[in-house]
Chains A and B, each alone.
Chain A
Amino acid sequence: AQSVAQPEDQVNVAEGNPLTVKCTYSVSGNPYLFWYVQYPNRGLQFLLKYITGDNLVKGSYGFEAEFNKSQTSFHLKKPSALVSDSALYFCALRPDYKLSFGAGTTVTVRA
């Protein structure tokens, strides 16, 4: 079975501190992994993806993600969080033509 999990429902950090949102996956074959962000009353916006190559992927708004095959993880990171980063974050796996989402992690960055 192919699946993706986000072990934390909520992440709270202070502005300026590092932000990490965790994601683990299970798939047979090549893992095509994505991160999306959702702001209130909006659709999902694409942040970054891992297809192949470098394990550190850089994306939009200063976010990056580290692919770790041995730990089957794809954690999203930002070195210095902003209040405007407060949103709902989804990790997603696309082993074929279907996209499977994690349950989402709500990030709150306090000033």
Chain B
Amino acid sequence: NAGVTQTPKFQVLKTGQSMTLQCAQDMNHEYMSWYRQDPGMGLRLIHYSVGAGITDQGEVPNGYNVSRSTTEDFPLRLLSAAPSQTSVYFCASSYSQLSNQPQHFGDGTRLSIL
């Protein structure tokens, strides 16, 4: 069972570069989301999607774009990387957007921006 797969696992960027973090799930989940994890701050929601073609902003969306062209994939794009975006990024999915659904997490992408 693959679950939620994130690539790459590690990445180093220079300030101003752009890149896309990939996220794919094979559980036919409707709801997908992106979080960033920073020490002492827990996880903060960046963007989420309740289904293909539908996305919305979370708590910290600035500097990030997302799209959801298929149910399986939910890539996160950094438009112009900044040192403040150095973090660990997690993608998560759940069967639906209903509040009682636990989320399944990928193993994360560790991103450093110099």
Query: What residues of chain A have their CB less than 8 Å away from a CB belonging to chain B?
Result: 9, 30, 32, 34, 36, 41-46, 49, 51, 90, 94-104
CA distance A32 to B58 in the complex (A): 19
Taking A97-B99, A98-B48, A99-B43 as known contacts, 8 extra A-B pairs with beta carbons closer than 8 A to each other, sorted by chain A number, are A30-B99, A32-B100, A34-B102, A41-B108, A42-B107, A94-B100, A101-B35, A104-B42
Once the chains bind, are A43 and B106 in contact (CB under 8 Å)? yes
User: Cβ of B50 < 8 Å from any Cβ of A?
Assistant: yes
Once the chains bind, are B105 and A43 in contact (CB under 8 Å)? yes
A90/B43 contact (C-beta < 8 A), A95-B99, A97-B31 known: yes
A43/B102 contact (C-beta < 8 A), A97-B31, A99-B33, A102-B42 known: no
Count of CB-CB pairs between chains A and B under 8 Å:
61
Size range of the chain B interface in the assembly = 20 to 34
B53 smallest CB distance to A (angstroms): 16
Query: What residues of chain B have their CB less than 8 Å away from a CB belonging to chain A?
Result: 4, 31, 33, 35, 40-45, 48, 50, 58-59, 90, 92, 97-100, 102-108
Once the chains bind, are A32 and B99 in contact (CB under 8 Å)? yes
Q: What would 19 A/B residue contacts be, using CB atoms closer than 8 Å?
A: A30-B99, A32-B99, A41-B108, A43-B106, A44-B43, A44-B92, A44-B103, A94-B99, A95-B99, A97-B97, A97-B99, A98-B48, A98-B58, A99-B43, A99-B92, A99-B103, A100-B45, A101-B42, A103-B41
